[in-house]
Chain A
Amino acid sequence: MYDLKALYEAKTVEEAVALRLEHPEAQIIAGGTDVLVQMREGKRAGKELISIYGIDAMRGVSLDGEENIRIGSLTSFSHITKDPIIQKYINVLGEAVDTIGGPQIRNAGTIGGNTCNGVTSADSASTLFAWDAIIELTGKNGVRRLPIQEFYLGAGKVDVRPDEIQTAILIPKASYENCFGHYIKYAMRNAMDIATTGCSVNVVLSGDKKTIARARIGYGVAGPIPMRAPTAEAAALGKPLTAETVDAFAAAVLEDIHPRDSWRAGKAFRQHIAVEMARRCLIESIKLAGGVMA
């Protein structure tokens, strides 16, 4: 039995926006895999809920007029993993969300919920950061778009205004073109776990596939919100496909990340793992891009 005051169901984005304005205290619920857990723990006990789960227009993956990838916010993790557009252009995102929870959670949970939850451990987030995703929000005055790095304001805090709901996540064409990436979720077991640290790397190689034309790296649980490691990215830029390049890239992440000490894992351990993950992710990304390590 859940301790909730009321449940309002929206069938369209417009209805959702209206409900938000009408019930400013209400919590938005999509797949419910986080919100219901929190309610059970008493954290949101007695609250009103606005369910957006029935808004089918917010489901599915497509290419827009400019060939940007558009992922509806209600698209479930399992649908993302199996989607042909995702598999063709940004397969690593499908792999990343396939590490979440178990099959039931992946069928119910949505990528919009995963990002709006604002937690650093979200398995989709490090990849979305590393691929410069754009968050689309819809409110009473229409659509607002912003880079995912600006969307995250702090631990558990995202930039959704009182009249808005997140409606889509976009991956620009310039981001995914010729780009290949790899994600490693480091967790204490192989299923039903949250990331101790998550690392997502992607590269674009030079035309001759001898050097790194662009490298991007995103982390989860390396700070209070997901983050990029710009020092590491700069260290790899234009460099040959060698072990030295990889080592320099990996070592440089320590300049950017700030993992914390907790009972779940110590700081020294998290730092050690973060470096090793960066190494392995870069090597794998180079391989996927058709590069051969010297």
Chain B
Amino acid sequence: MSKQVGQSKIRVDAFDKATGRAKYTDDLCGREALVTHMVRSTVAHGLVTAVDTEEALKVPGVVKIFTCFDVPDIPFPTAGHPWSTDPAHQDIADRLLLNRHVRYYGDDVAVVVAEDEVAAARAARLVKVTYEEYPFVLDVQKAMEPGAPQIHEEFPGNILGHTEIRRGDYQKAIQEPGLIKVEGWYDTPTVQHCHIENHVCTAYMEAGRVVVTSSTQIPHIVRRVCGQALGIPWGKVRLIKPYIGGGFGNKQDALYEPLCAWLTTQLGGRLVKIDCSREETFVSNRVRHAIRTHIISWVRPDGTFAARKIEAFSNQGAYASHGHGVNAKGVNAFPQLYPCDNIEGDGWTVYTNLPAAGAMRGYGIPQAMWAGESHLDDVAKALGRDPVEYRRQVVMPVGYRDAFSKNENYFDTFNQIMDKGMEAIGYAEKRKAYENQTGPVRRGVGMALFWYNTAVWPISLESSSCRMVLNQDGSIQVQTGETEIGQGCDTAYAQMAADAVGIPFEDVHIVSTQDTDITPFGLGAYASRQTYIGGFSIRQTGQLLKERILTYAVELTRQTRANLDLIDGKIVRVSDGRVLMTLGELATEALYSLTHSEHLTAESTYQIKNNAYSFGCTFAEVEVDIPMCKVKLLNIVNVHDCGALINPALAEAQVHGGMSMAIGYGLSEELKFDPKTGKPLNNNLLDYKLSTFMDHPHLQAAFVENPEPTSPYGTKALGEPPACSPAPAIRNAVLQATGVAMYKAPMSPQALFARFCEEGLL
């Protein structure tokens, strides 16, 4: 039988999604639903002293208005992390359903419930909120200063988390004579995920329980958070996750599900909907942490590092959400990608009065690579070395093993991906051709590597559960707690399940919807873990089901178990390869037999205590129009080693999406705030410059397939990695073209203008 894994199968949901037949949260919402409109804080920091709803309540169609004075006083955490039974490792519970102490412009103050959207919006405009205004702070380092506004009482100095790395003796090592010091400050902006479907959720009550349907990546986790926020047993909440229009980490958080769940309990169990507008999604969901990074490298003339220092200041915004985990991941990558004996590292995560930052594709690594890979080119330039050739010398060597994660660099991946990337873009010839250019329009090539981890072990729990149910015709339903969020895991899982059981791809019916009443427990989509983690439980459960099928086949065929196999949906006698019966015939008999009726199913959990490195790189070619202050991306290629490919076409698509996201990160995207008020300035898709199809060249994806030894299918992370290295690669190409080092992303025309003026190009 041909293996399904490794083939470019068409997505199992392609037809329904392309024709508009697929049902998303709002499609499933009944027409009787009450709708809501949030009333949001118009100050960056303050205390709500009064909410006047008198005029608003007069609007026809308004049902009720709930304010920050009405909600239960139960602080709850929102991060989409597996719960820890150890209180020391639990997520920070620092917000209420509606907040009196508002901490950013756009914070949740009140909610209007109405019969229709027009009534809700009209009433929301009439709600009058009175504040006692507090001083506020937007800048991460200013928030750490003595006397800075205090945002959460429990966190003096606004410091939410601190990671400290001390290796060798940095102070002593920098005394070595003849060292070259290379130093830089590198900044990344606040950006938003911009998934196509804004967050939306609905809730109603049935049999004394709250049923929530939500556009989320993490149904089982959100169920838990709803239980915590309402102070009710977790089993009283049922969470349903249908198809979703992307998440990229924003929906790896409990967003408005807890409030929606609480609202229905206040409305006699009526169906109620919270539907975020795009403007709200930008500000009042989650954003990517803006991180300011300071790096000093002390380099010997031969290129080796004597000592290195990193300080990373991560802007958390108003609420903890995923908190320090994001910056910690980036800072911990630093000593691994370019090992050095003497390292001093500090990562700080700091509350400010900006929107709360949470998970976003790459989880700290796009920020860390912007800083680290820009810096590496600055070092290469100081040494007069070619950036690729220099990286070959200093990058993580083959056989490197990280003491904490136990991850190992098994293969010569870095050299392989760089070779492939160089060839794809014509690096050597172009690098030479673009030396010493003059004139207003100049070209350059540049590259960047990235470091990534698959999944979250050993920081958190990694487990996956799977259920398989055999139908009369020999087809199966497959369920997992891991979620399809557009990345294509349903298709990859169908391929894995087909191979694990021994049936055709078409006979696997993936149950795409997760429903916490029905779906096996699992933690959802995050950390680029789906294919890796799901693979373990799918393989194990598939083998379990196959064993039950063949055991039943012994009865029907009178052959020994050892002489039977299930191949391509047929019961086969191993000794002569004869097909004895089809799986459909067996399944029908098993269900309807008058002597031995049995529903053949399997279910199992696999706990994973491994993790895997996933590496790659980007090569970019740019044309810089200096007088126009514009960068045109001419060519770009990402090369990944994510192990063996489960579905090459889907893998390629995944890489394209990540590259697109990172092109915007490098060149145009930035959520801006008025420094005088903290008010968001561009929280819409016109003023926020998400890159478009017209801003991209052909996006090229290439792979090196070194099979991951710990995975049953040889696979590892690919979800987030594509977004990690393009921005610094583009930056380094601009450096070659113009000789100007950019330190702040995005490299917008305005930013280029400032730097070109500073460097005398304009």
Contacts and interface: CB of A to CB of B under 8 A. Distances in A.
Nearest to B118: A3
Contact of B753 (A42, A188, A272): A272
Contacts of B161: none
A interface SS class: loop
A191 B674 CA distance: 26
Interface stretch (A163-171, A215-223, A231-239, A260-268): A260-268
B693 A188 contact: no
A269 B750 contact: yes
Interface string A1-26: 11100000000000000000000000
Interface stretch (B200-208, B423-431, B539-547, B681-689): B681-689
A166 to B, nearest CB: 25
Contacts of A191: 692-695
A88 interface: no
B748 interface: yes
A271 B125 CA distance: 39
Contacts of A269: 629, 749-750, 753
B627 interface: yes
Contacts of B695: 189-191
A292 interface: no
A178 to B, nearest CB: 30
Interface string B300-314: 000000000000000
A36 interface: no
B668 interface: yes
A188 B695 CA distance: 10
B224 to A, nearest CB: 34
A32 to B, nearest CB: 16
Contacts of B116: 1
Contact of B122 (A45, A263, A264): A45
A229 interface: no
Contacts of B694: 189-191
Given A42-B125, A189-B694, A265-B750, A194 B629 contact: no
A289 interface: no
A108 interface: no
A193 B750 contact: no
Contacts of B681: 263
B434 to A, nearest CB: 23
B628 A188 contact: no
Interface string B676-705: 000001100111010111110000000000
B686 A276 contact: no
Contact of B762 (A186, A189, A194, A272): A272
A221 to B, nearest CB: 14
Interface in B734-753: 748-750, 753
A42 to B, nearest CB: 7
B117 interface: yes
Interface string B649-689: 00000000000000000001000101000000110011101
Contacts of A265: 749-750
B272 interface: no
B674 A188 contact: no
A266 B750 contact: yes
Contacts of A264: 687
Contacts of B627: 272, 276
A42 B121 CA distance: 8
A269 B757 CA distance: 10
Interface in A122-168: none
Given A194-B686, A272-B753, A188 B692 contact: no
A293 interface: no
B691 A189 contact: yes
Contacts of B693: 191
A3 B628 contact: no
Given A3-B121, A269-B750, A263 B672 contact: yes
A242 B685 CA distance: 43
A35 interface: no
B686 to A, nearest CB: 7
A85 interface: no
B119 to A, nearest CB: 9
Given A263-B674, A264-B687, A190 B750 contact: no
A276 B629 CA distance: 10
B628 A273 contact: yes
Contacts of A57: none
Nearest to B119: A3
Contact of B692 (A1, A189, A196): A189
A261 to B, nearest CB: 11
A243 interface: no
Contacts of B628: 186, 273, 276
B762 A188 contact: no
Interface in A64-104: none
Given A263-B681, A269-B750, A189 B668 contact: yes
Interface string A165-201: 0000000000000000000001011111110100000
Interface in B424-468: none
A36 to B, nearest CB: 14
Nearest to A194: B686
Nearest to B696: A190
A194 B684 CA distance: 13
A269 B752 CA distance: 10
A196 B686 CA distance: 12
A196 B687 CA distance: 11
Interface in B391-420: none
A269 to B, nearest CB: 5
A228 B6 CA distance: 62
A56 B753 CA distance: 47
A45 to B, nearest CB: 7
Given A42-B125, A45-B121, A276-B627, A192 B692 contact: yes
A272 B625 CA distance: 13
A264 B674 CA distance: 12
Interface string B275-306: 00000000000000000000000000000000
B282 to A, nearest CB: 14
A202 B108 CA distance: 53
Most B CB contacts (10 A, CB to CB) among A189, A266, A273 go to A189
Given A45-B122, A263-B674, A276-B628, A192 B686 contact: yes
Contacts of B118: 1-3
Given A266-B750, A273-B628, A276-B627, A190 B692 contact: yes
A69 B79 CA distance: 62
Contacts of B691: 189
A3 B124 CA distance: 13
A265 B682 CA distance: 13
A59 B674 CA distance: 43
A257 to B, nearest CB: 17
Contacts of A2: 118
A269 B121 CA distance: 39
Interface in A241-285: 263-266, 268-269, 272-273, 276
Contacts of A266: 750, 753
* Most interface-central of B674, B686, B748, B762 (chain A CB within 10 A): B686
Contact of B689 (A45, A188, A268): A188
Contacts of A186: 628
Contacts of B762: 272
Contacts of B753: 266, 268-269, 272
Given A190-B695, A193-B686, A269-B629, 7 more contacts: A3-B122, A45-B122, A191-B693, A191-B695, A269-B749, A269-B750, A272-B753
22 contacts: A42-B121, A46-B122, A188-B668, A188-B689, A188-B749, A189-B691, A189-B695, A191-B692, A191-B695, A192-B686, A193-B689, A263-B672, A263-B682, A264-B687, A266-B750, A266-B753, A269-B749, A272-B627, A272-B629, A272-B753, A273-B629, A276-B627
Interface of A: 1-3, 42, 45-46, 186, 188-194, 196, 263-266, 268-269, 272-273, 276
Top 4 A-B pairs, shortest CB-CB distance: A190-B694, A191-B694, A1-B117, A191-B692
